[in-house]
């Protein structure tokens, strides 16, 4: 799919930026590395053209919901898994860390929508520290629930990226979560179990700073 063809779906200014930066320029590959860029574009476009997933749904004033998270997961993984967008029915963990019990997920996602997403979305322009805290809280709470069998981390990054665009930030560069920063990131998730989002907010503050530097360098 060419960028010109994709352009017909770019209705709102914010939606246009989202598509241009994530889809048309291939940034979605970095987040959703399991899927090919072509498959992701075509799947999104099929939903957009059929009206089942309107592209102007996620504008700058959109308040994200648990259903949005399910729909994004479906959009991404439905070509691969029949259970895409469906909450998991099995308990899972990683590296000795146990995520939320499967039977609790529907209520936990309802709480995430009612409390965290309602508080932080739509994400408005603010100072970097305030934005970093908002992104950290949303990201941590979604990761701790881990509602799906696959793709929770990348989906959580996509959600924070969309929030960042709502707030007028450039597309986020998540490299501070990788390499030597991975330990700080994982530590921040663990601490967030006690509703302390400070350590993870420090990681997101680095992400925001790096993203701004990259955006500034690209405009020179």
- pLDDT per residue as tens digits for the range 100-146: 999 999 999 999 999 999 999 999 999 999 999 999 999 999 999 99
DSSP 35-61: S-HHHHHHHHHHHHHHTSS-GGGS-TT
**Alpha-carbon span 66 to 215, nearest angstrom:** 31
Question: What share of residues in the chain are helix, strand, coil (percent, to 5)?
Answer: 65, 0, 35
pLDDT attached to residue 33: 39
pTM here is 0.79
Q: Between 7 and 181, where is the model more confident? A: 181
Q: Please compute the mean of the pLDDT values over residues 63-80 and round it to a whole number.
A: 90
Spatial neighbors of 139 by CB under 8 A, at least 6 apart, are 156, 157, 159, 160, 200, 204
pLDDT attached to residue 56: 58
pLDDT attached to residue 2: 31
pLDDT in tens, 135-189: 999 999 999 999 999 999 989 998 998 899 889 998 888 999 988 999 999 999 9
List phi, psi (to 5°) of 94. Answer: -150, 130
Across the chain, mean pLDDT equals 80
pLDDT in tens, 43-58: 444 554 454 544 457 7
For residue 36, pLDDT over 80 is answered with no
Delimit the CATH 1.10.3290.10 region(s) of the chain. 65-218
In 3D space, the residue among 80, 93, 104, 177 whose CA is nearest the CA of residue 135 turns out to be 177
Could you tell me which CATH number the domain at 65-218 has? Answer: 1.10.3290.10
Q: Between 197 and 41, where is the model more confident? A: 197
**Alpha-carbon span 115 to 108, nearest angstrom:** 10
Helix (H) or strand (E) holding 189: helix 182-191
For residue 204, pLDDT over 70 is answered with yes
């Amino acid at each position: 799919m060419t960028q010109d063809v994709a352009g017909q779906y770019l209705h709102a200014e914010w939606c246009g930026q989202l598509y241009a930066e994530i889809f048309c320029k291939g940034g979605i590959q970095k987040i959703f590395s399991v899927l090919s860029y072509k498959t992701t574009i075509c799947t999104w476009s099929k939903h957009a053209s059929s009206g089942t997933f309107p592209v102007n749904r996620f504008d700058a004033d959109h308040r994200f919901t648990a259903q949005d998270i399910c729909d994004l997961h479906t959009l991404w993984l439905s070509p691969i898994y029949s259970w895409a967008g469906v909450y998991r029915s099995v308990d899972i963990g990683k590296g000795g860390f146990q995520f939320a019990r499967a039977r609790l997920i529907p209520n936990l996602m309802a709480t995430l929508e009612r409390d965290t997403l309602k508080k932080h979305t739509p994400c408005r322009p603010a100072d970097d520290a305030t934005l970093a805290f908002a992104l950290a809280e949303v990201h941590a709470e979604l990761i701790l629930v881990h509602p799906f069998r696959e793709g929770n981390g990348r989906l959580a990054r996509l959600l924070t990226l969309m929030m960042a665009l709502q707030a007028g930030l450039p597309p986020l560069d998540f490299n501070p979560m990788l390499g030597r920063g991975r330990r700080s990131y994982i530590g921040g998730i663990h601490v967030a179990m006690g509703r302390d989002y400070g350590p993870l907010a420090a990681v997101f503050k680095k992400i925001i700073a790096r993203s701004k530097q990259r955006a500034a360098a690209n405009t020179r």
